[in-house]
Amino acid sequence: MQPEEFIMLCVYILAGVLGLCVGSFLNVVIYRVPNGMNLAKPASHCTRCGYTLRPYDNIPVLSYLFLRGRCRKCGERISPRYMIVEIVNALLWLLSVHLFWKENIVYAALCAVVLSTFICIFFIDLEHMLIFDRFVLILAAAGIVAIFFDTHTVWYDHLIGAVAAGGVFLLIYYLAIWVLDKEGLGFGDVKLAAVTGLLLGWMKMLFAMLIASVVASVVLLILKRVRDDENGKEYPFGPFIAGGAAIALLIGDPIIEWYLSLLAF
């Protein structure tokens, strides 16, 4: 094995392990932030019996499988979301390394942080229909860093993306209030769109919104048919924005370049 291959293998292993560990922490964030709890105290515990988890109960994925998804003490079922978050975060971190590490180490690390933030937004908004400002601020800071390290997008495209996405969503927000006399979007969605536009740039933001809109339309149509939800029922849009933005962040550039090459002929 060549030295460069060995280094990359170590980087992949480190990214995967760290991704799993950070995913475990994300589960704490997803549960505690909406409930107004401290992230550090108390220690991780069963929400039913109060059993404090031992270090061997907190090994990502393995502990869940070994305990068969139940509390060691009272047998309360543990949501499979905990294992899913750990696995998805690890896979996304590995993708960030695979796609960007050789080209731009800083951008690879930035993508890993952003994707973890999107995971928090996805699950919290899905369950609580809330997008917290702390996540918006993390994405805003990441967007500022991306201006300097995104080699596929010129700096002013990021600013255009922030203004355009934030402006369009703000217009939809006020139009819905004016026409429907109620919010069509939460204001958290407006802020999320603006900082996501700053992070991605306007072209990747368009791609992200296309994915979010199409997937949201299909999913919500299915939910309405399957669950027979009443008209006017509110659904969170943040998870679709986060999902579309994650896809655009990872593979938006080659897809946009391919599409523009088609238009050139």
Res. 118: pLDDT tops 90: yes
b/e sequence 207-218, b meaning 16+ C-beta within 10 Å = bbbebbeeebee
What pLDDT sits at residue 182? 76
Give the residue with greater pLDDT, 20 vs 76: 20
Res. 193: pLDDT tops 60: yes
What pLDDT sits at residue 74? 87
Q: Using CA atoms, how far apart are residues 79 and 90, in angstroms rounded to an integer? A: 18
Res. 265: pLDDT tops 70: no
Residue 153 burial by Cβ neighbours in a 10 Å radius (0-12, 13-18, 19+): buried
pLDDT tier for residue 202 given thresholds of 50, 70 and 90: very high
Among the residue ranges 45-54, 89-98, 195-204, 215-224, the one predicted with the least confidence is 45-54
Res. 6: pLDDT tops 90: no
Res. 194: pLDDT tops 90: yes
Q: Work out the average pLDDT over 74-94.
A: 94
What pLDDT sits at residue 191? 96
Res. 49: pLDDT tops 90: no
Residues 76 and 70 sit within 8 Å (Cβ to Cβ): yes
Q: What are phi and psi of 45, to 5 degrees?
A: -150, 165
What pLDDT sits at residue 48? 81
Beta-ladder partners of 70: 77
Res. 20: pLDDT tops 80: yes
What pLDDT sits at residue 156? 93
Helix axes 238-263, 81-100, angle to 10 degrees: 30
Res. 232: pLDDT tops 70: no
Among the residue ranges 12-26, 64-78, 79-93, 224-238, the one predicted with the least confidence is 224-238
Residue 8 burial by Cβ neighbours in a 10 Å radius (0-12, 13-18, 19+): middle
Greatest mean pLDDT range, 35-49, 173-187, 239-253? 239-253
